[in-house]
A and B are shown apart, each in its own frame.
Chain A
């Protein structure tokens, strides 16, 4: 039983990572209708910037929390610029596949430039959370132990979701963002500066990605250019599973994917080496039954 709980918690830890990247994907989708394949590499680049800002030996030595905050701000601006300069001109040609190509180009380019600038050696990212563990409860003997990092991650993610939800659902700005995603031409006719909203959407997603990447890197013993490559696949899986309209869906789905993965690794020997079958298979099954994902809203199509 204890092993089970520990694996679940393990899975939650990974799942939070997947969920936070999925969140960025969903934000871009909900505000611009685009699937951003470069999300992971954008996060990677920002992670390197965080490291550069925080590193005592190679960088500016800022306190880690400040470094993350600053990196998020930089990412916000960069994301907005990317939208304006690279994405929008191509999107206006009204070909969604072309936008996919651009994000793929970004995917390739960002990874390689990051390695060029920051080098290929693994680097250390300090953690913003206090060290140590917390005991959850003792069931006859051994206590279940959770690291403060995990709790910190959970807290950050929950806070993110709440803030984003409030922004999108309860503010005028959020309404404008969603309007532009829904019907950009009509939004213009209501005096909404559609271009600005698109830039905001990308900026937000980039900032969220920067946070996610920095936190992920801080949980590992070292990170390098490959940090996001497998994560992005799981994050995509989580976003699809949760349904692209839903913020909560992204996080919950991320948790499900993480937990399923961890449990499979632990308990299902037959699938050793191909544990990735489980989250992927899960998605397939769920999507076949619920085509809009677990939390997606059914969109009515009127012809």
Chain B
């Protein structure tokens, strides 16, 4: 059974329907990639999972129906969502941002997780007492990722992590993600426009078009399939 399953999901904003019959599954320990152009419904899909918008259909996480639950409840079940724009708490310091990631944890390993993520992202360690809002886009993205990981989530939802980042930084970010997945078993659902890098670390890929799934398949096959690349992925 997949860790996350979407079946017949419809959703949108008020009278505006964006998603039509989305069927999607993410296996535990895999990286699922959702691609598509602007307006295709990628972000909306993530928001439906997190409960930020109203949706119909089935969204099942670890065997439990989560459709209809509030975002707080979904987060507490172990889903960490890094939104577009990173959701930085700008007036708080870097350290406080990370503390927030772990704020609902009751175990004793929080301190060691701090050390761990500071060593994975040394730039955050340098700026630990700095106001988060004054950091660059790339640093805030790192912060958002580390903050999400502080919650020790079972599933990580990432919305366009490469948005606004320099290519080198993006590469580094995806390298980290890949490492987290391969060596630490993190399950990831990443929405991206930068298909190349995403598919490289991915296991399964979906291409959304106008709110429907146009193509899906093994990530590497999608990456190598010329027709798909030209039609949907732009390279």
Contacts and interface: CB of A to CB of B under 8 A. Distances in A.
A172 interface: yes
Given A175-B100, A300-B133, A300-B134, A191 B76 contact: yes
| Residue from A186, A297, A299, A302 with most neighbouring chain B CB atoms (10 Å) | A186
A52 interface: no
A299 B133 contact: yes
Given A175-B103, A299-B133, A194 B72 contact: yes
A138 interface: no
A302 B90 CA distance: 10
Interface residues of B, number: 27
B134 A175 contact: no
Given A194-B72, A297-B131, A299-B133, A189 B92 contact: no
A179 B72 contact: no
B57 interface: no
B74 to A, nearest CB: 8
B90 A299 contact: yes
A198 to B, nearest CB: 13
Chain B interface mostly: mixed
B92 A192 contact: no
Contacts, number: 79
B70 A188 contact: yes
A179 B104 contact: no
Contact of A190 (B90, B104, B133): B104
Contact of B89 (A179, A191, A245): A179
B170 interface: no
A302 B50 CA distance: 27
Q: Which 7 A-B residue pairs are closest in the complex by CB-CB distance?
A: A186-B87, A191-B75, A188-B71, A182-B89, A191-B76, A300-B134, A191-B104
Interface of B: 50, 52, 70-72, 75-76, 80-81, 83, 87-92, 96, 99-101, 103-104, 131, 133-134, 147, 151
